[in-house]
Amino acid sequence: MDFKENKAIYLQIADNIGDRILSGELPADGKIPSVREMAAEIEVNPNTVARTYEYLQQQGVIYTRRGLGYFVAADAAQIEVRERRNALMQGELDYFLGRLKAVGISPGELKALYEDYLK
């Protein structure tokens, strides 16, 4: 993984796991790598991965089975979509819309651009 300086590493790892859940690479009730395996895979301290897993457990995205490891929650994809949607609506979208207004892009132009993007 390539980490960015503007966001905590454990949150970037959580985002990566969320991406993998949303893409289907990590299916519901599927096992995810152990803390040590994940730390070795992405070359970070195991404590950072442990913090990521604790955060994801608190969000309800993953759960543990005693003695077996960590697994993806049945509704993890829905949780990820909801959390990402909230983050987008509360921060990124406000900034984006402000920039559109500043450069004079009309709602009609934005709609056309978005429809073209979806094609």
pTM: 0.79
Q: Quick one: 69 and 88 in the same domain?
A: no
Q: Quick one: 40 and 14 in the same domain?
A: yes
Q: Quick one: 20 and 70 in the same domain?
A: yes
Lowest mean pLDDT among 18-32, 63-77, 94-108: 94-108
d(CA 115, CA 97): 17
Q: Quick one: 19 and 53 in the same domain?
A: yes
Gyration radius of the chain over CA positions: 18
| 3-class DSSP string for 7-43 | CCHHHHHHHHHHHHHHHCCCCCCCECCCHHHHHHHHC
Q: Quick one: 58 and 82 in the same domain?
A: no
Domain that holds residue 32: 9-75
In a domain, 3, yes or no: no
Q: Quick one: 33 and 70 in the same domain?
A: yes
pLDDT digits (tens, 9 = 90+) for 7-62: 999 999 999 999 999 999 999 999 999 999 999 999 999 999 999 999 999 999 99
What is the number of domains present in the chain?
2
